Amino acid sequence: MAAKVTYTKKGSDPSSIVWPPHGAPGEQYTFTDGVAVSFPNLIGYGDGSITFADGRPFPPLTGQGSTFQHGK
């Protein structure tokens, strides 16, 4: 499975971001505002949510309100 993730920038977050900010290098991803990227080691669901392959939730929201959402 895979998740096609789109980052939407809000607040003072940068246009490109490494997310989540902490974690193993293989569990951090680089996103650019408005660009959908597919990741084979994330799982996306019809409600827009994302999990890591082991079922842990992928953080969907930064402190500034930027979002990460699975899309079709």
> Confidence class of residue 65 from pLDDT cuts 50, 70 and 90?
very high
What is the three-class DSSP state of 16? strand
Domain map (residue ranges) of the chain = 3-70
Question: In a 3-state reduction of DSSP, which class is residue 18?
Answer: strand
Q: Which tens digits make up the pLDDT trace of 2-57?
A: 999 999 999 999 999 999 999 998 999 999 999 999 999 999 999 999 999 999 99
pLDDT at 25: 87
pLDDT at 1: 78
Alpha helices by DSSP H, 1-72: none
- Per-residue confidence (pLDDT) for residue 13, from 0 to 100: 98
What is the pLDDT, as a whole number, of residue 72? 77
